[in-house]
Structure 1
């Protein structure tokens, strides 16, 4: 990115990504975790009744989309305050995994929730006003508008990180888990240090840890970046779909999804999650064969537990 930015390229779930923690615990009661998540971590469109304490770590009043004369941003701040520590729906998930050495992990995939959507929509409207002759989805910002967008983008990326960490906090405290290591992998954002926009891509700087998830059956890879400039210091954020959600619901069966998830504790296999079936995504083997130039695979995390809204 230089002197222009297209808000629509980042999209509406600003800062979406994964928080990965490795546990000192050798065993976790997955049924108990499932119950805790259903009781304490709102999913889908639900929000928290009480504000999570992590909200004090961010000042949303600094969002420039809220400043004078910009009422068309229509930000729902009370909803934003109560959305910190919520999962959302779609392909967002909470997963319990084990690596080849027997170590346990929790992975949380979520983003900036409804506030991120509103910020994205506001700046896309601004871009369309400023560039009325551009293609609608490729209208861009420049000058002060670009500065405002990048400023708010940083706040929303921080909000998304805090959202995932708040979910981890609820889980680790509720389950008495001891965290040995944690790292964050983001895939819808602007890397402000290097001015790289990544949509459906993750940073793979030299030595950087990253998580690449595949599907609810095959789990994820923990990787270490190689810092390859030919790959723009990046890697794929996941497997990517080979079926649209509509196609998956029409062509895939609940029976095959139950078979795919055999041996994995989940109460999330139902008609509403059929579009998240492993067969709707590219095969893990295809991705692993293509990423060797940009990352080294350190561990394969295999699911023992999965939750989707």
Structure 2
């Protein structure tokens, strides 16, 4: 069957107004009905035109409905002349480019408040370590490409000496039960109730991504993502995870929503740039109005991607616990690339944390160091100046390119040996020297979190590239 051919005049002839509803309708029909006959396609579009309210929220026709009902004109948005209120923590540790990215974000018409964490460095849109509260708007690049990137720690009642005494066993567990990058998947697939979600059936993009997401369940991404064995030290009797003070074996993982989240970010960033075009310096900060069809759809897709990221971590930890023959005493986890609806200064706003850990009062989180530096189990203090946030790690002090140029394999091997760390995979761009001093970063956020435990890496598995 020939490919569907539609012209704007065809839609005008059946009564479509001469606004963006025509281009939206043509794009949607060519995407979802490209093998349909022209008369049938026009009949479908006429049905939407006759009763657009009937199709509001529909996964395919909702955007046409919205355009017909509201007939909005997309205009280039200007930045405000002044910034929304903000606080920077550890300002002397943060480069000028990251600060400038925050300052640009604070001038968006939808911005109400912001903050920058001490691990901050430049990224796309918001800087890494950036926190931004907006009114009724979500910024896909304010969340990040890896939606729901997160930490997860399992604590096992195993003597830490076993890691060194039975190193081959622990290395084997990571080699066998963890998968990384775009090509590695588990032969024995796990399953999860998340795949029964309505969103996988009702949102066309998610429908296309479901099989890939199922294949990648329980795997980790490339770059700085890892699964590692290490030594957990629990500090103090009064801890929310109910583990007595002492040292234990821990499994710590860092990864996100894999191809699912990356494709959601790509699609809705594109839509945002079309709907809220911004000056060049701010183009990655385009937002979606939460009252719009695309805004609601992204919100659903973002939350699904976040829950999928959590499901991946739980599958990883389930496999490792089974291999160990142990049940964890406790699990601590948190997102650090996400957006939440939260009350800020008495108003419900959308709080974007791009590389920042939620740190509401008494909320637990994990802030990792590098592959040779300690990570920290923290309890939030609920500081309003940071929008209830803390850093998500040590933060980079070298770009990936600079690290590859300046760090040698022999230097990496020496620092690993000096710290007693076994590394499986990873490139020079993830060398410990590429990261800031985590102890300095933690010193800049004593107002934001209390430390209730530490994690010292011992066997680290990363993507082999």
TM-score (norm 1): 0.91
Structure 2 residue 354 is matched with structure 1 residue 199: yes
The yes-or-no answer on 1:78 pairing with 2:78 is no
Q: 1:49 aligns with which of 155, 166, 187?
A: 187
Deviations 1:196-244 (A, max 9, x none): 1100101111111111111000130111111111111100001110100
Please tell me whether residue 305 in structure 1 is matched to residue 459 in structure 2: yes
For residue 85 of structure 1, give the secondary structure of its aligned residue in structure 2: coil
CA distance in 2, matches of 1:250, 1:75: 39
- Structure 2 CA distance for partners of 1:119 and 1:30, relative to 1, 3 Å: farther
Confirm or deny: 8 A CA contact 2:177 2:316 kept in the other structure. Answer: no
Aligned to 1:228: 383
| Aligned-residue offset at 1:107 | 0.5
Superimposed CA distance per residue, residues 99-120 of structure 1 (whole angstroms, 9 cap, x where no aligned partner) = 3432221101111001110111
SS in 2 for 1:19: strand
Give the corresponding residue for 1:212: 367
CA contact (8 A) 1:264 1:306 kept: no
| CA deviation profile, 1:125-147 (whole Å, cap 9, x unmatched) | 11122224554312211122212
1:36 aligns with 2:36: no
Q: Is the 8 A contact 2:140 2:265 kept in 1?
A: yes
**Structure 1: how far apart are the matches of 2:409 and 2:299?**
43
User: CA–CA distance in 2 between the matches of 1:288 and 1:294?
Assistant: 9
CA distance in 1, matches of 2:430, 2:278: 38
Instruction: Select which of 60, 78, 96 maps to 2:229.
Output: 96
Distance between the aligned counterparts of 1:185 and 1:255, measured in 2? Answer: 35
- The one of the two structures with greater contact order (alpha-carbon pairs below 8 A, sep at least 6) is 1
The equivalent residue for 1:284 is: 438
Taking structure 1 as reference, are residues 286 and 133 closer, same or farther at Cα in structure 2, changes over 3 Å only?
closer
- Residue 99 of structure 1 aligns to a residue whose secondary structure is strand
Tell me by how many angstroms 1:66 deviates: 2.8
2:176 corresponds to 1:21: no
Q: Matches of 1:49 and 1:192 in 2, distance apart?
A: 38
Name which of 322, 326, 334 aligns with 1:177. Answer: 326
Q: Match for residue 284 of structure 2?
A: 137
Cα offset, 1:58, TM superposition: 4.1
CA RMSD of aligned residues (A): 2.0
| Aligned match of 2:25 | none
Q: Does 1:3 align with 2:159?
A: no
1:51 CA drift (Å): 2.9
Look up the SS of the partner of 2:447 in the other structure: coil
Q: 1:107 aligns with which of 243, 252, 274?
A: 252
* Residue number in structure 1 paired with 2:267: 122
What SS does the aligned partner of 1:215 have? coil
Which whole-Å deviations, capped at 9, do the CAs of 1:127-181 have from their partners, x for residues lacking one?
Answer: 1222245543122111222121111111111101111111001100012122001
Corresponding residue for residue 296 of structure 2: 147
Q: Which residue of 2 aligns with 1:160?
A: 309
When structure 1 is superposed on structure 2, of 217-226 and 95-104 the one drifting more is: 95-104
Farther-moved stretch of structure 1 (185-194 vs 86-95): 185-194
Count of matched residue positions in the alignment of Structure 1 and Structure 2: 302
Distance in 2 between the 1:158 and 1:168 partners? 15
**Worse-superposed segment, 229-238 or 258-267:** 258-267
Give 3-state SS (helix, strand or coil) of 2:259's partner: helix
Query: Tell me, which stretches of 5 or more residues in structure 2 are unaligned?
Result: 1-133, 234-245, 344-349
